[in-house]
Amino acid sequence: MFHSGIWRVLCFVIMWYNQHSVKTKMKIVNDLNLKKQAEDLGVKVWLTPGFLFLVMGLVAAVIMTATYYISRNSDDPKILVIAESLVAIVILVIGSAIIRMVEQIAKVNKMKSEFISIASHQLRTPLSAIQWETELLITKYKKGLNEKQLEAVSTIGSSVFRMIKLVNDLLDVTRIEQKRLILRKIYLDIAKITEEVIGGVLPLARARNIELVMGTKKKMPQVMGDPEKIKMVIENLVNNAIKYTANKGKIDIKITTREKFLVFSVKDNGVGIPEEQHSRVFDKFFRSDNAVRYQTEGTGLGLYIAKNIIEQSGGRIWFNSVENLGSIFYFSLPIK
Amino acid sequence: MNKKKILVIEDEATLHRALLEYLVSEGFDVLSALDGEIGVVMAKKEKPDLVLLDIILPKKDGYQVMMELKKNPATKSIPIILLTNLESPEDIQKAFDKGATTYLIKSDYKLEDVVKKIKETLGKKN
């Protein structure tokens, strides 16, 4: 009777397994991957909910089997009651351990989230103050400054700008790594965002004698995304194109459609990327050898962040590049 | 031409001063408040053309200030530009839900760009 019961359970499990999709099966396999679970949650393996559930199941099964054999050899109902109570107590103890664990994980998650928020706010406030005071000095009070003083203040200004960019990038990387990069989803006018970006980088392009050309159809279909983050991606691609293009170069920015996607591209005739390094372009902190030689400034985080933003928005980012001839970077976003 | 009246509600002294000096030099008539409570009182009394508002403020935060101004018929049409260093999508969404016209992250905007946004918003209003 006991064996036929086990057989029935096994049959049920096999039937259930055959009925469910690969995705569901993969989810179950992932749920059973305790090491991965521990890494994701930032706790020890023996503290993961999966492990505790397994222990609870095993202990319950052992005690129930023991109860079955005891009840077969004993007619005393007290023994049965004691055994059943034991099962209930064990389930209760492990259950409460699971609840405590889940609470602890929730607390740690909340703390991590609060840390990012506080760090971001507290770092940005003094940086904004330095940025604005420097701007005031350069734009409104420069009369009293001699050439060297003005140069020093300008250096403070550009350094603080880089610092703000670095803080923003590091915070975004932290969010990506912790799977906390939350993106807004609203209708976007990519052409308008691109025009804003071009307006911002035009002085730099002019200073380097680089021609910036933008080509787009008059009416582009709407896409959805986070306007600030998509602007950041476009800024990154256009800035890279300017940074790695020699004087008198040319940059072509295009917005087109391809099937159900809007495709944005930036083409330059700059230093390009060596072929053997193509596979690492979107890696965190990666900068190609010739890029480092050409432009020492740069963290190698921009394209890593851009890739995560675009992919999380439902699109794709890719490029073609030939060393010493130039690069074309593309990203696509689904048309809504 | 009449000077446009801007109410700045910002508690961070350095940022507050830099904003005030820049806006005055750009030809605006500038009023200022160092906390949300005074900000609401001044907005109701002075009826500025635009409010430049921080979120983390003593006494009443930026969201409360916005709610009170949007509830009052005399101040509900005043455009509000949020100028803050909070940048989570939740904060941005909440700000627009409560009636913000524009949301700017301080560290990402030079004073020159803040003024551009103010002029753009005032232009739309007129």
pLDDT digits (tens, 9 = 90+) for A192-238: 899 989 988 888 888 888 988 888 777 788 899 998 899 999 999 99
Q: Do B93 and A131 touch (CB under 8 A)?
A: no
**Chain A within 8 Å of B13 (Cβ-Cβ)?**
no
**Chain A within 8 Å of B107 (Cβ-Cβ)?**
yes
* C-alpha pair distances (Å), B34 with each of B54, B60, B111: 10, 11, 19
**Chain A within 8 Å of B20 (Cβ-Cβ)?**
no
**Residue A325 confidence (pLDDT) above 80:** yes
Q: How confident is the model at residue A52 (pLDDT cuts 50, 70, 90)?
A: confident
Give the residue on B whose Cα is nearest the Cα of A185: B89
Residue in B22, B85, B92 nearest the CB of A125: B85
Specify whether the backbone of A103 is left (phi greater than 0), alpha (psi in -120 to 50) or beta: alpha
Q: How confident is the model at residue B16 (pLDDT cuts 50, 70, 90)?
A: very high
Identify the residue with better confidence: A66 or A187. Answer: A187
Q: Do B18 and A140 touch (CB under 8 A)?
A: no
Return the C-alpha torsion angle A61, A63, A66, A68, nearest 10: -70
Q: What is the mean pLDDT of chain A?
A: 83
Residue in A132, A184, A228 nearest the CB of B15: A132
pTM of the predicted model as reported, rounded to 2 decimal places: 0.67
Q: What is the mean pLDDT of chain B?
A: 91
**Residue A2 confidence (pLDDT) above 60:** no
pLDDT for res A35: 80
A132, A172, A312: which to substitute to probe chain B, counting the most B Cβ within 10 Å?
A132
pLDDT for res B84: 92
CA angle centred on B103, ends A334 and B74, rounded to 5°: 125
pLDDT digits (tens, 9 = 90+) for A150-159: 889 889 988 8
| Chain B residues close to A129, C-beta within 8 Å | 12, 14-15, 18
Rounded to whole angstroms, the Cα distance separating A21 from B110 reads 53
- Tell me the average pLDDT across B24-34: 94
Give the residue on B whose Cα is nearest the Cα of A128: B107
**Chain B within 8 Å of A204 (Cβ-Cβ)?**
no
**Chain B within 8 Å of A183 (Cβ-Cβ)?**
yes
pLDDT digits (tens, 9 = 90+) for B37-83: 999 999 999 999 999 999 999 999 999 999 999 999 999 999 999 99
**Residue A269 confidence (pLDDT) above 70:** yes
Rounded to whole angstroms, the Cα distance separating A86 from A67 reads 10
pLDDT for res B54: 94
**Residue A6 confidence (pLDDT) above 80:** no
**Chain A within 8 Å of B96 (Cβ-Cβ)?**
no
Rounded to whole angstroms, the Cα distance separating A68 from A71 reads 5
Q: How confident is the model at residue A135 (pLDDT cuts 50, 70, 90)?
A: very high
Residue in B14, B21, B107 nearest the CB of A140: B21
Q: Is A299 helix (H, G, I), strand (E, B) or coil?
A: coil
Give the residue on B whose Cα is nearest the Cα of A122: B85
